[in-house]
Amino acid sequence: MSTTPATPVMSQDELKALVGRAALDYVEPGQIIGVGTGSTVNCFIDALAGMRERIAGAVSSSEASTQRLRAHGIPVFDANDVGDLAVYIDGADEIDPRGYMIKGGGAALTREKIVAAQARRFVCIADQSKWVGTLGRFPLPVEVIPMATQRLIRQFAALGAQARVRLRDGAPLVTDNGQHILDVTGLQISDPPAFESMVNDWPGVVTVGVFAHQRAHVCLLGTPEGVRTITF
Ligand code: 5RP
**In this structure, what CATH number is given to the domain that contains residue 174?**
3.30.70.260
Ligand 1 centroid, distance to 6 Cα (angstroms): 31
Predicted local distance difference test score (pLDDT) of residue 2: 41
103 assigned binding-site residue: yes
The pick from 12, 39, 111 for probing ligand 1's pocket by mutation, whose C-beta has the most ligand atoms within 8 angstroms, reads 39
Task: Give domain status of residue 4, yes or no.
Answer: no
- Domain ranges, residue 164: 140-209
The pick from 41, 88, 123 for probing ligand 1's pocket by mutation, whose C-beta has the most ligand atoms within 8 angstroms, reads 41
Ligand 1 centroid, distance to 7 Cα (angstroms): 27
Select from 209, 75, 188, 89 the least CA-distant residue to 132.
188
Query: Per residue of the chain (232 residues), what is the pLDDT tens digit?
Result: 344 444 568 999 999 999 999 999 999 999 999 999 999 999 999 999 999 999 999 999 999 999 999 999 999 999 999 999 999 999 999 999 999 999 999 999 999 999 999 999 999 999 999 999 999 999 999 999 999 999 999 999 999 999 999 999 999 999 999 999 999 999 999 999 999 999 999 999 999 999 999 999 999 999 999 999 999 9
112 catalytic residue (yes or no): yes
Active-site residue, from 94, 112, 143, 196:
112
DSSP assignment of 24-80 equals: GGGPPTTPEEEE--SHHHHHHHHHHGGGGGGS-EEEESSHHHHHHHHHTT--EE-GG
Q: How many structural domains comprise the chain? A: 2
Contacts of 76 (CB under 8 A, 6+ apart): 57, 58, 59, 60, 66, 69, 70
Predicted local distance difference test score (pLDDT) of residue 175: 98
190 assigned binding-site residue: no
Q: Are 85 and 176 contained in the same domain?
A: no
Q: Are 165 and 223 contained in the same domain?
A: no
Task: Give domain status of residue 2, yes or no.
Answer: no
Q: Are 220 and 144 contained in the same domain?
A: no
Q: Are 98 and 156 contained in the same domain?
A: no
pTM over 0.75: yes
Q: Tell me the HSE value of 172 on the side-chain side, using a 13 A CA sphere.
A: 17
Q: Are 106 and 217 contained in the same domain?
A: yes
Task: Give domain status of residue 3, yes or no.
Answer: no
Q: Are 126 and 107 contained in the same domain?
A: yes
Ligand 1 centroid, distance to 36 Cα (angstroms): 8
Predicted local distance difference test score (pLDDT) of residue 88: 98
The protein residue whose alpha carbon is closest to atom 6 in ligand 1 is 105
Q: Are 30 and 59 contained in the same domain?
A: yes
The pick from 11, 19, 37, 68 for probing ligand 1's pocket by mutation, whose C-beta has the most ligand atoms within 8 angstroms, reads 37
Predicted local distance difference test score (pLDDT) of residue 6: 47
Q: Are 181 and 91 contained in the same domain?
A: no
Q: Are 160 and 51 contained in the same domain?
A: no
Task: Give domain status of residue 154, yes or no.
Answer: yes
Task: Give domain status of residue 98, yes or no.
Answer: yes
Report the nearest atom of ligand 1 relative to the CA of 36: 4
Task: Give domain status of residue 35, yes or no.
Answer: yes
Q: Are 54 and 125 contained in the same domain?
A: yes
Predicted local distance difference test score (pLDDT) of residue 43: 98
104 assigned binding-site residue: yes
Predicted local distance difference test score (pLDDT) of residue 8: 64
Q: Are 38 and 18 contained in the same domain?
A: yes
Task: Give domain status of residue 7, yes or no.
Answer: no
Ligand 1 centroid, distance to 4 Cα (angstroms): 32
Task: Give domain status of residue 194, yes or no.
Answer: yes
Q: Are 195 and 152 contained in the same domain?
A: yes
The enclosing domain of 46 has a CATH number of: 3.40.50.1360
Predicted local distance difference test score (pLDDT) of residue 4: 42
37 assigned binding-site residue: yes
